[in-house]
Structure 1
Amino acid sequence: SFLALRIGNKKADERRTFGYKRIEILTALLNASLLIAISVFLIIEAIDRFIKPTPVEGGLMLVVALIGLIANLVGVMLLHPHSHGSINIKAAWLHLIGDTVSSVAVVVGGIAIMWLNVIWIDPVITIGVALYLVKESWNIVYETTNILMQGAPRDFPFDNLIREATSIEGISDIHHIHLWNLDDQTLHFEAHICLSQDMSLSEADRIRGLLEGRLKEMFHIGHVTLQTEYHGCRPTNIQHHTNP
């Protein structure tokens, strides 16, 4: 994850004109997918241990779990400040959270086995932790896949954006709208705007700049590309909106 973070910070070049940010998305997808696979394996193993219980050394189990818990807590605290700014770090942080929760569960299980001789608690705790990891990892898989498919963010207020665009004097129509995430932080937007009347290039550019500024300020879009036209191309997709 840290290697991907370093690569992702490289500047764009002639071959990678969008930069290297998506290496972090690929890494996050790989980490989350691997975590799901491991969780499924743990569930299968836990079910087998539940059906065919085997004796567990509670004392040894408790000592190993405590050592792992301390190490994982250190990692969680180190990564937590960065987990909200990068989906790549979030995936790594989730991995450590899973290990931490597992260690806590094993500690509880070790105590239960030592004091109550409840052997079945070990596979039950394992299944619970694994299901939690699958749920959290699936969210990352969904989000990273959506980014790689150039999908728009969930719950993006398209209606508000269109309303704001067509409320600007001089814009009669907006179409060929495309919105996508370059990574988990940067939004890109492109569209055609149809001018309401024939006008000078400088006036058209003023209107374009006004809309671009509003899109960046109000909708936090990092990169905006707008094409102005007057009786230009006929819209061919469903993203066609006219100012009444």
Structure 2
Amino acid sequence: MENAVGFLRRNLMVPEPEAASLVGLNAVLMARCDALARTTHYRKGLPVSELFAHDVAASLQLPGVGFDPVRYESRKADKTGNVLIDGNTYAAGPSFHSRRLTVGLRHDVVQILDEHAAPVRSFPRVFGQQTETIFDPASLVPLLVTKPGAWSHSLLRPLVPEMVRDWLDQATATDRRRLFNAVDAASGSAGFDAAVHAADTLLRRGDAPDIAWWACSPAAWPMAPNRPPPTWT
């Protein structure tokens, strides 16, 4: 086994591979494995791929339950509901401020769980140092429903279409709350991006924010008379 590991290190990882993501690295290594499989074994005189197939046929069956390579750690959220993981900041959400949370660290995902081990947020895992907070846009909308005045410094402001942003900048607190309520209601089923896109379509039509939920909720369209649904992209 040690000889096999050394062989793979010398033949697959020299020169040291580079990739922008784990998916990219796996693709590079798989291509090198495929090239190795096409060669002939120096002693047995057969293609490596054929010998590998024989080994697989002789192997025991894998367990019925997959192994989940995850490490759980405890973190305390700060006063804004953020947690620090490997030098990067992840937003659990304002409702979790100052609470003791559990984070599940997988190779590609960071999962945040509450005090009862119930999952509340999942994010793609970020490696290296990122200066910006990593967050789920939909999780911040309820805060703006409660405090529409926080819109001017919200992390969501750069993420919405320009027309929606300009409208919210000039809207009253009541009108902002109406639109945030609509986006919040739609994000659960359609996703944040689709919800704000629908809100953008609605505003471009000249409709008022108190009917924004017609545009944001696809399930509501059959109930809305004489209103064609927006185009979803």
Q: TM tier, shorter chain?
A: under 0.3
Q: TM-score, normalised by structure 2?
A: 0.25
Which structure has more relative contact order (CA 8 Å, sep 6+)? It is 1
**If each structure's helix is expressed as a fraction of its own residues, which one has the higher value?**
1
TM-score normalized with structure 1 length:
0.24
